Amino acid sequence: MVEQGLIRAAQSGDRDALITLLREIEQHVYRTAFYILNNEQDALDASQEALIRIYTKIDSYEEKAQFKTWIQRIVTNICIDKFRRTKPTVSIDEHELVFQDKQNVEKEVLSSYLAQDIQEAIDQLPEHHRTVIVLRYLQDFSYNEIADCLNLPLNTVKSYLFRARQQLQNMLQEHQKGGVSG
């Protein structure tokens, strides 16, 4: 993700290195915040707060943990705090459909509804299950990286993922039974 030399330079007080470092990670930070909070404005707020915290705490990073995991822990904790303070909202603008090929409109509509159903199901998960699902399947973290990031035992991460997948499967099956099926 980021070169260790750049991290060391930022830690030693090189302002240009720190700014370069923050620019390299800002998309990753935003993407994580958006997946957890599912709201653009909240994700922007959380990202900004996370980048400021990384900026002020860069000297506390120790190389015994992966830099990616250290960043993820900061972002995740900020998002969890933000989620606890506010209830999630859904913007109508985020759900507009744009069709690229008029031949595949039906396929695109069904795909869009499926993606929306999955996101809604993820949003209904308990906070700890939602977080591990986001880290594993949307951020592609390994089980060990998730355990490090959330400061949980590896077996707890596995258990959370197992239960979250079961809950998602049940919710999506219930939705399909009660809704339109393709």
Asked whether the predicted pLDDT for residue 14 surpasses 70, the reply is yes
> Sign of dihedral through CA atoms 49, 142, 121, 91?
positive
Closest CA relative to residue 28, chosen from 82, 94, 76: 76
Model pLDDT for residues 107-149, shown as the tens digit of each residue? 555 555 666 777 788 888 888 898 898 888 877 888 998 898 8
- The token pair at 78 is 């900020």
Predicted pLDDT of residue 99: 47
Predicted pLDDT of residue 3: 83
**Mean pLDDT value across the chain:** 81
Kind and range of the H or E run holding 180: none
- The token pair at 92 is 């109508």
Model pLDDT for residues 50-95, shown as the tens digit of each residue? 999 999 999 899 887 788 889 988 998 898 887 677 654 444 444 4
Are 103 and 82 spatial neighbours (Cβ–Cβ below 8 Å)?
A: no
Model pLDDT for residues 20-37, shown as the tens digit of each residue? 999 999 999 999 898 888
**Distant-in-sequence, close-in-space partners of 28: CB < 8 Å, separation ≥ 6:** 1, 68, 71
